[in-house]
Amino acid sequence: MKTMQHGTTQGLIAALTAVLVLAAGPAPAAQYPTKSLQLMIAYPAGGSTDVAARIVAAIAEKQLGQPIVVVNRGGAGGQVGWTDMSRARPDGYYIGFINLPALNTVILDPQRKAAFKVDAFVPIINQVLDPGIIWVKGDSPHKSLKDLLEAAKRAPNTLSAATTGILSDDHLAILMAEEAYPGAVFRIVHLEGGAAQMTAILGNHVNVAFDNVGSVFRRIRTGEVRALAVMDTQRSRFLPDVPTTPELGFKTVISSSTRGIAAPKGVPAPIIKRLEEVFQKAMADPEHVKKMDEAGLALKIMVGEEYAKYYRELHAKAAKYTEWAQKRPHR
Amino acid sequence: MKRGWQAAVAALLLIFAVFAYESFKLSLSDTLGPGPGFFPFWLGALGAVLSVILLVQLHLGRVDVSDEALVFEPAGMRSVAAALGGLIAATALLDVLGFRMAMLFLIPFLLVVLGARNRTAIAICAGAGSFGVYHVFFDLLKVPLPVGIFGL
Amino acid sequence: MEGLQLLLTGFAAALSWQNLLFAFIGCVLGTLIGVLPGLGPAAGTAILIPLTFKLDATGAIIMLAAIYYGAMYGGTITSVLINVPGEAASVVTCLDGYQMARQGRAGTALGIAAIGSFAGGVVAALALAMVAPPLARFALSFGPPEFFALMFLGMCLVTGLAGKSLAAGLLMTIFGLLLSLIGIDPVRGAPRFTFDVPELYDGLGFVPVVMGLFGVAEILLMIESPFRQLLDTKIKGLWPSREEWKRSSGAIGRGTVIGFVLGLIPGVGAVIPTFMAYIVEKRLSRHPERFGTGVIEGVAAPETANNAYANAAMVPLLVLGVPSSPTIAIIMGAFIINGLTPGPFLFKERPDLVWTVIASFFTGNVILLILNLPLVGLWARLLKVPYQYLCVGTLLFCIVGAYSLKGTVFDVGVMLVFGVIGYFLRKLGLPLAPAVLALILGPFMEKSLRTSLEMSAGDFGIFLTRPISATLLAGAALVIAVSTFKFATLKAMKEAESK
């Protein structure tokens, strides 16, 4: 009698456990993904982030076993797309690219009233680190960064400097440059994107532009436009002849735009792990490396905790300059 | 028609006033130049002023408004109201019912409101418009349409 | 001329059966994308980029470019047949094209659109081949102040032509401008007029609003008065009359020039050329009051302009490496993914590719014509469906279209709201065109204004000290003066008559 009861109890417990496990929620990582993923890009199609994302998505989906559908949700400098992602269901089927420090400044700028905070996203893996670059038209009178800063000091608020968007990494870089060369003041002109900068510079509407290497390096190679400095700790592989800001004596002027994949907070850890593995493998794939090289986008792969740490550190740095941007008399 | 215009311009006046007020709350200018409220504030203010002028002109009969009366045919209005009602309901329930179910109800409803009587045609349209369209867009074009809580 | 020689070599390559096939596929897909709701050229081209990974660079670009100008024509089809513009460039065609369809002349409207598009496209491609580089350099002199002045001029032109009441036109313009400012301020990043609704952060969305104002409103009007359905469902032959040909040829000529010149300026967008061409035609016509009732020039002008624009817009991309619009940015992305950099360097490094692509614009335009002209009769026949099914079909079309833009039901709601608004506006006879143009141009105008002021550190004089913008603003002042004068004299005449 006792054995049978014991057996029945055991069976009951087993059945209950099975039911509980099945009802527990998202499928275990081994079965994920069972349908296609959405990879959101917070910018319109055709830009650097988009190009890089499509390259990696095409490779990753082969290993993932499910299609990765790239979705563009541009608008408001990324705020539209990231708001969307922050409200998405954390089931692992909606992930997106985050651009730093753009995301940080969106969160930090009180005027923007962002609907999400720093912890709304779980950084998974970083793909690109595109260093900042200062460039002028080919026939510009400013031959070096020092020339430029000196000119901005002699006639403050006269030289116009273009960014690709308000509180973008370019905007913060201009502030860093002003900080490093006291007295230099630029007239900051916010344009939308690299294409607008190109027309503005070629058409002589602005004097200097702050952007990223990936957007502009090809035109530098042809000589139509000239780079004054790359704002990174080492020279860019794509522009080996352009000096870096530390080399020129401005070691605090370091700026870049990083692009990586993140998921909304709450996605189960096993799924995050799987995504980390898949994308890390995809980014190491020789075809990916080759295509990114052709596109002029420097890889800087940071996975998991390393990326999360970078995210937090950058947030602190961005906070400093965002606050300064608000207080600056000539915004 | 004059009454209609007066109503429309009055509505516009209200809208312009709201925009101007909201813009005023945003900063109109800072040290460098116009702020986010600058452009819309002046536009709203200008619009409000023009609306008032037009209302006065209408009242005094100085505006050449077409002489035909604003006609609202009662029978037609019923159909419009019904159709709108159906559309609004379907839109509100689109995420709940899902595209296929919502359209399955909306299409025959609208067709009947508009006077279609051929049952087979209605049925075919309902099917094609709901399930047919859904699958063309989802399977062929990879454009997802809403799926509701019933999985449809 | 070296250009001509290179062009001929380009032709030899463009006429290869593969490149012809790619152009053909591009035209077909483009037309489909233009017709289908919600899939604007931008979305459609983006979806097809992965396809181009598998083709060689030249073929890929030929196909994407064909999709782009093919979609311009596809958008026309829905504008004419059901008064629903698929995208910005097709809005103006609704004004007269749909009226022509209601008179049983849908085929003629579509036909002249196809012919005008072809003429505009070919001439633009030819001009592109001959004089691209110097013209492109000129276009560079358009900076933010010039853009503002250009758009301001456009607004003045449209407002001044808004039917009976100048005041009503002005009010509609301001209404459109204010609506366009809803969303996150592009310069400072502050949400404006969003009342904490996150879906409004990116603005109202041009497509849902216009689908509502034109498409849904028309349906509501049809539901109310069934006699409003097609006045004549019998298809009255497909060819325009002799007199219409004459009027159209002028419109086509002027449309080509307007579309081409504006296409060269990076950042203008497809809407301005179509509005400008329509307005110019209306001003030059002996019977401007007939515009809006179904005159053929009202279709020929904007259609020619938008195809000329589409071909000319390739110039900033190829010559300067600057994309003119989001769709062209995608084509540029295709270049980059294939390891190519559009720009003057590409002309020197890979002339074979560039000139083959340019030659393919010709072949593409021919293919588009051959493809669409015979189908015109077929499209026109679609209108013979009983009006209940046409209405419901159009509504379904609009719902799917509005939804598929961003995947939210919110846009469908916006469309319905504006459907109701459009219904009342139409009943009252208040003009829609100024509001629509303002809706598109509003954000650009504001951005240009504020960027100009950033450039000048707050000095408004910048608009008058720069030659091009000063000229454009003088033109706008002229238009305002003439319109006010015209209205004042008309009113005086009327009062004199009634005494």
DSSP assignments along C12-25, one per residue: HHHTSHHHHHHHHH
* B89 shares a domain with B133: yes
Indicate whether B12 belongs to any domain. yes
- Picking from A307, A286, A257, the residue whose alpha carbon sits closest to that of residue A49 is A257
Which residue of chain B comes nearest to A331, CA vs CA? B32
* A144 shares a domain with A244: yes
The β-bridge partners of C59 are: none
Q: Does A157 sit within 8 Å of C457, measured CB to CB?
A: yes
Q: What is the pLDDT of residues C431-488, one digit of tens each?
A: 888 888 888 888 888 888 888 988 888 788 889 889 889 998 998 888 888 877 776 7
Residues of chain C contacting residue B84, judged by C-beta atoms under 8 Å apart: 220, 416, 420
Residue C240 has pLDDT above 70, yes or no: yes
Q: Does C420 sit within 8 Å of B107, measured CB to CB?
A: no
Rounded (5°) CA angle C492-C496-C498: 120
Q: What is the spatial distance between Cα C37 and Cα C389, in angstroms, rounded to a whole number? A: 17
Instruction: Determine contact, residues A54/A70, Cβ cutoff 8 Å.
Output: yes
Chain mean pLDDT for chain C? 82
Indicate whether A330 belongs to any domain. no
Token reading at C160: 């001044």
* B17 shares a domain with B41: yes
Of the three residues B36, B59, B82, the one that is the final residue of a domain is: B59
Q: Give the best residue of C338, C451, C453, C456 to mutate against chain A (max A CB count within 10 A).
A: C451
Indicate whether B147 belongs to any domain. no
Residue A148 has pLDDT above 70, yes or no: yes
* A234 shares a domain with A288: no
Q: What is the pLDDT of residues A69-119, one digit of tens each?
A: 888 887 777 888 898 899 888 989 999 999 999 999 989 988 777 889 999
With pLDDT > 90 as the criterion, what percentage of chain A qualifies? 53
Range from A255-269, B52-66, C30-44, C418-432 that averages highest in pLDDT: A255-269
Q: What is the pLDDT of residues B94-134, one digit of tens each?
A: 888 888 888 999 999 998 888 888 888 888 889 888 888 88
Indicate whether B23 belongs to any domain. yes
Indicate whether B44 belongs to any domain. yes
* A114 shares a domain with A75: yes
Q: Which of residues 36-75 of C touch B (CB under 8 A)?
A: 36, 38-39, 47
Of the three residues A256, A280, A297, the one that is the final residue of a domain is: A256
Give A331's pLDDT tier (boundaries 50, 70, 90).
Answer: very low
* A271 shares a domain with A302: yes
**Residue A253, Cβ neighbours under 10 Å: how many?**
26
* B130 shares a domain with B88: yes
Indicate whether A5 belongs to any domain. no
Q: What is the pLDDT of residues A282-325, one digit of tens each?
A: 999 999 999 898 888 999 999 989 999 999 999 999 999 888 88
Give A16's pLDDT tier (boundaries 50, 70, 90).
Answer: very low
Q: What is the spatial distance between Cα C292 and Cα A279, in angstroms, rounded to a whole number? A: 56
CA B80 to chain centre: 13
Residue A19 has pLDDT above 50, yes or no: no
**B51: containing domain:** 2-59
* B119 shares a domain with B94: yes
Residues of chain C contacting residue A205, judged by C-beta atoms under 8 Å apart: 143-144, 455
Q: Does B133 sit within 8 Å of C396, measured CB to CB?
A: yes
* A154 shares a domain with A125: no
Indicate whether A291 belongs to any domain. yes
pLDDT confidence of residue C38: 58
Q: What value of ipTM does the predicted structure carry?
A: 0.91
* B52 shares a domain with B7: yes
Indicate whether A10 belongs to any domain. no
CA B105 to chain centre: 21
* A71 shares a domain with A149: no
Residues A248-262, mean pLDDT to the nearest whole number: 93
* B96 shares a domain with B126: yes
DSSP assignments along C179-246, one per residue: HHT-EE-TTT--EES-TT-GGGTT-S-HHHHHIIIIIIHHHHHHHH-GGGS-S--S---SSPPHHHHH
pLDDT confidence of residue A24: 46
Residue A18 has pLDDT above 50, yes or no: no
Kindly list the partner chains of chain A, i.e. chains with 3 or more CB atom pairs below 8 Å.
B, C
* A222 shares a domain with A77: no
**A299: containing domain:** 37-130+257-322
Indicate whether A18 belongs to any domain. no
Q: What is the spatial distance between Cα C470 and Cα C467, in angstroms, rounded to a whole number? A: 5
Q: What is the pLDDT of residues C427-442, one digit of tens each?
A: 888 888 888 888 888 8
pLDDT confidence of residue A6: 47
* A263 shares a domain with A242: no
Q: What is the spatial distance between Cα C162 and Cα C172, in angstroms, rounded to a whole number? A: 9
- Picking from B143, A45, B150, A36, the residue whose alpha carbon sits closest to that of residue C402 is B143
Q: Give the best residue of B32, B138, B142, B147 to mutate against chain A (max A CB count within 10 A).
A: B32
Q: Does C185 sit within 8 Å of B36, measured CB to CB?
A: yes
Cis check for the bond before A101: say yes or no (omega within 30 of 0).
yes
Q: What is the pLDDT of residues C274-316, one digit of tens each?
A: 988 998 888 888 887 888 888 899 999 999 998 899 888 888 8
* A161 shares a domain with A54: no
Give C126: exposed, middle or buried? Use CB within 10 Å, 0-12, 13-18, 19+.
middle
Q: What is the pLDDT of residues C54-104, one digit of tens each?
A: 777 788 888 888 888 788 888 888 888 888 887 778 889 998 999 888 888
Q: Which residue has the higher pLDDT, A13 or C361?
A: C361
The β-bridge partners of A256 are: A131
Of the three residues A209, A237, A256, the one that is the final residue of a domain is: A256
* B135 shares a domain with B90: yes
Indicate whether A45 belongs to any domain. yes
List, as own/partner pairs, every contact residues B136-144 make where C-beta atoms lie below 8 angstroms and the sequence separation is at least 24, other chains included: B137/C400, B137/C404, B141/C36, B141/C39, B141/C47, B142/A69, B142/C47, B143/C38, B143/C39, B143/C404, B144/C407
Indicate whether B35 belongs to any domain. yes
Q: Does C343 sit within 8 Å of A224, measured CB to CB?
A: yes
Half-sphere exposure at residue C471, Cβ-oriented, CA atoms within 13 angstroms: 4
pLDDT confidence of residue A15: 46
Indicate whether B148 belongs to any domain. no
The β-bridge partners of A130 are: A257
Token reading at C17: 């059966």
Q: Pick from A187, A205, A291: which is nearest to C143 by CB?
A: A205
Indicate whether B64 belongs to any domain. no
Give buried/exposed letters for C97-112 (b at 16+ CB in 10 A, else e).
Answer: bbbbbbbbbbbbbbbb
Token reading at B62: 């100085």
Instruction: Determine contact, residues C240/C108, Cβ cutoff 8 Å.
Output: yes
Q: pTM of this prediction?
A: 0.81
Give A262's pLDDT tier (boundaries 50, 70, 90).
Answer: very high
Q: What is the spatial distance between Cα C388 and Cα B114, in angstroms, rounded to a whole number? A: 6
Number of domains within chain B: 2
Kindly list the partner chains of chain C, i.e. chains with 3 or more CB atom pairs below 8 Å.
A, B
* B84 shares a domain with B55: no
Indicate whether A65 belongs to any domain. yes
The β-bridge partners of A213 are: none
* B90 shares a domain with B48: no
Give C2's pLDDT tier (boundaries 50, 70, 90).
Answer: low
Indicate whether B11 belongs to any domain. yes
* A249 shares a domain with A206: yes
CATH no. for residue A188? 3.40.190.10
* B49 shares a domain with B92: no
Q: What is the spatial distance between Cα B111 and Cα B91, in angstroms, rounded to a whole number? A: 17
Residues of chain B contacting residue C387, judged by C-beta atoms under 8 Å apart: 114
Which residue matches tokens 């604003």? Answer: B70
- The SS3 of residue A227 is strand
Indicate whether A195 belongs to any domain. yes
* A240 shares a domain with A174: yes
Q: Does B142 sit within 8 Å of A331, measured CB to CB?
A: no
Q: What is the spatial distance between Cα C113 and Cα C107, in angstroms, rounded to a whole number? A: 10
Of the three residues A212, A234, A256, the one that is the final residue of a domain is: A256
Number of domains within chain A: 2
